[in-house]
Amino acid sequence: MNTLEQKQASARAALRYVEDGMIVGVGTGSTVNEFIPLLAPWRDRLEGVVSSSEASTARLKAQGLRVLELNSAGDLPLYVDGADECDPHFRLIKGGGGALTREKIIAAASKRFVCLIDASKRVDILGRFPLPVEVIPMARSYVARQLVRLGGQPVWREGVVTDNGNCILDVHNLVLTHPEESERNINQIPGVVTVGLFALRGADVVICGGETVAKR
């Protein structure tokens, strides 16, 4: 299968976790864009969906799905999203699409996080994909200097403003052998909104090319 076919197969496989009456958390990105149309036949069977981005909200509404605010939805039984990298322990790098903060909030609020990937996203050690960090605009340069001290090479994603009104630094050349520790350390830098490491709360289920991956 080519990459698109793998994404489509993973999206179809994720439907096995969707149940009547659920509120489903829906992520952002090219793989999730294959999943959203598959939810359309469920529009009258779901209580609603919670979206991680304005872009996904528009796609969900176009399919006739009821989009709810997380504050009113409460804890969610299911969250479906993609990833930019996934290691054998289901720890992830996310945020290539710029929605990392809302994605992390919904993942934390969800009982089960199903992550959809293609084979190119599987790695033994996280860090080949530049690590996104969402930053308060006034702190961009300060945070960048701290990230250099941690061994990274941050690059401002110029011209990008997140749905929260912030900017993103993409950190190159980090070898994340201890991703939980790295997640804590980066999140503690003043001015960081969140880092795109999903190690403390990784995926519960990973589907790659339509097949469920065994966790190490």
Give the span between the Cα atoms of 152 and 12, in whole angstroms.
Answer: 37
DSSP bridge partners of 116: 82, 207
How far is the CA of 176 from the CAs of 68, 147, 164, 186, in angstroms? 35, 13, 27, 12
Show the 3-state SS of 123-184.
Answer: CCCECCCCEEEEECHHHHHHHHHHHHHCCCEEEECCCCCCCCCCEEEEEECCCECCHHHHHH
Is residue 103 part of the annotated active site? The answer reads yes
Among 34, 85, 103, 134, the active-site one is: 103
DSSP bridge partners of 126: 176
Give the span between the Cα atoms of 81 and 102, in whole angstroms.
Answer: 12
Q: Which amino acids are annotated catalytic?
A: 103
